Amino acid sequence: MTAGLRVALRIEISAGREAEFEELWRGHAQTVRRFPHNHGQQLLRQVDQPGVYTVLTDWTDEPAFRAFEQSPEQQAYLKRLWPMRTAGEMRLLEPLHHLSPAATAAAEQPGRTA
């Protein structure tokens, strides 16, 4: 099933706590992936500001995401995250269009060689 909601979370982490945050996120990501309505996640670090991260996570829909937000697992993660976080914002996005790279699209067409 295609995700109907993408959540983009921008997180600023206190200087010197970046490695701690990344470890915390990796551990929590293993929990998140077990939620049936989660369709994947990514952790990205801003190139010019090592303490600024973006988390992208895909969900079936907003109610599924909101249920996850209230889960005991997410609440426990947030209690550990908040002391190392200096700022952040969350955006809920509706995926509209997705294009594969041209080489991938050509390879997927029957009878066509790349």
* Residue 27 within a domain: yes
Q: How many domains does the chain have?
A: 1
Please report, for the chain, how many H helices and E strands are present, in that order: 4, 4
The per-residue b/e assignment along 38-50, b for 16 or more CB within 10 angstroms, e otherwise, is: bbebebeeeeeee
* Residue 37 within a domain: yes
* Of residues 71, 13, 15, the one with CA closest to residue 38: 71
Long-range residue pairs from 30-34, CB within 8 A, at least 24 positions apart, any chain: 31/73, 31/77, 32/57, 32/68, 32/73
d(CA 65, CA 93): 12
Name every residue whose Cβ is closer than 8 Å to that of residue 66 and which is 6 or more positions away in sequence.
none
* Residue 107 within a domain: no
pLDDT at position 19? 97
pLDDT at position 18? 97
CATH assignment of the domain containing 26: 3.30.70.100
Entry pTM: 0.83
pLDDT at position 100? 85
d(CA 18, CA 9): 16
* Residue 61 within a domain: yes
> The domain containing residue 26 runs over which residues?
5-95
pLDDT at position 6? 97
* Residue 101 within a domain: no
Per-position pLDDT tens, the chain of length 114: 456 999 999 999 999 999 999 999 999 999 999 999 999 999 999 999 999 999 999 999 999 999 999 999 999 999 999 999 999 999 999 999 988 898 765 666 666 554
